[in-house]
Copies of this chain bind each other. A is one copy, B any other.
Amino acid sequence: MFKVNEDYLKLPGSYLFSTIGKKVNAFAKENPDKKIIRLGIGDVTQPLAPVIIDALHKAVAEMGVAETFHGYAPDLGYEFLRNAIAENDYKLRGCDISPDEIFVSDGAKCDSGNIQEIFAKDNKIAVCDPVYPVYVDTNVMAGRAGEYDPKTETWSNVIYMPCTAENDFAPELPKEVPDIIYLCFPNNPTGSTITKPQLQEWVDYANKHGSVIIYDAAYEAYISEDNVPHSIYECEGARTCAIELHSFSKNAGFTGVRLGYTVVPKDLKAGDVMLHSLWARRHGTKYNGAPYIQQRAGEAVYSPEGKKQLAEQVAYYMKNAAYIKEGLKSAGYTVSGGVNAPYIWLKAPNGMTSWEFFDYLLEKANVVGTPGSGFGPSGETYFRLTAFGTYENTVEAIERIKKL
């Protein structure tokens, strides 16, 4: 008789955003007259930039002609895209990453979920608290997280690094040494970030203790301040301790297009074993390459015109972020984030829990946000709003909240 993966059954409830979706759908059904504004899930609302649309149409046309048709893509991605990434995201920033250390995929969520697979089951992970749920959940599903304690809402075998107002939402180096450290800056959900010297401390720590850092740089396009690193490879020694995840979802609006990439430097080894070889093996065996059409769209992101149009798109969302932040501040909320990230992190008012505030906001203002506690116990009483709405909706949502 077949048996199921018992580790899956340990997961409490469903994926955070599925839960929110169900709650919102139920509310919408009961209140068909109410105009709900969604500033919850980090999904973009602006259409793809013209330069991306042109690249997509061109690639589609190629697929309709025998001479330019493309079948299976190379496992790790087309060279034209890997070269563009290496040049623009690394070489121009002074980072030493070669095209064959770049693995193109269908998105950073998949990669951030799958990457744990190349590590031993008895490795211990450390995560920021609050944190993007995928890091922890995928380790639970792999049997690496231990047991869940519903009282503390933590897993017995996970090292939590609290990020709260007290430490300016920046994690401290853990006393117990983890094998794998997940870091995400600019941070989802808090919108905070750290400076290059601060990140260098993490790289030094990882190299000293033999930890590996999984660095999620999904939001680097939103960095507006000079001293904030765009890549962990700006730090000395990162090639021997860090994997970096990238998304095209937020810088280019590809949430529904699906494209991302992961960097695994060849210097990153456990004994003689290159993690690069293991990730290549995973790609070759369990993945079949990102679509040609999408990879051409990714290439267009790095064209001069693409950079210009996407900078405008990022500026559009950051205008929303500023509006949310200032509006909530003026209404007396305690707010952070929103300067180098499209997320605004606020304290629920009047001693409300995160979910109480979620319900309150949904019912009274018909605005959807994300409860901070959904990202981890230290997120309790906090709440996340995203800047990815339209400007008009963002303004209306904030005006509604101000009137509460």
Contacts and interface: CB of A to CB of B under 8 A. Distances in A.
A60 interface: yes
Contact of A71 (B56, B255, B281): B255
Contact of A1 (B15, B179, B294): B179
A133 B286 CA distance: 11
A275 to B, nearest CB: 7
Q: State which size class the interface on A falls in.
A: 35 or more
A48 B71 contact: no
A6 B118 CA distance: 9
A80 interface: no
A285 B110 CA distance: 8
User: Quick one: copies of this chain in the complex?
Assistant: 2
A94 to B, nearest CB: 27
Interface string A129-161: 000011001100100000000000000000000
Given A63-B56, A285-B15, A117 B72 contact: no
A365 B341 CA distance: 58
B4 A282 contact: no
A278 B117 CA distance: 18
Nearest to A178: B2
Contacts of A48: 63-64, 69
Contacts of A255: 71-72, 288
Contact of A8 (B6, B109, B278): B278
A72 B110 CA distance: 13
A174 interface: no
Contacts of A210: 1-2
Interface stretch (A38-46, A82-90, A329-337): A38-46
A57 interface: yes
Contacts of A134: 285-286
A398 interface: no
A158 to B, nearest CB: 15
Contacts of A209: 1
Interface in A49-97: 50, 52-53, 56-57, 60-61, 63-66, 69-73, 75
A393 B6 CA distance: 51
A8 B270 contact: no
Contact of A43 (B53, B71, B75): B71
A359 to B, nearest CB: 22
A123 interface: yes
A137 B47 contact: no
A292 B3 CA distance: 34
Contacts of A179: 1-3
A4 B120 contact: yes
Contacts of A292: 256-257
14 contacts: A4-B278, A14-B281, A14-B284, A15-B284, A48-B64, A48-B69, A53-B64, A71-B255, A107-B288, A134-B286, A138-B285, A138-B286, A256-B291, A258-B289
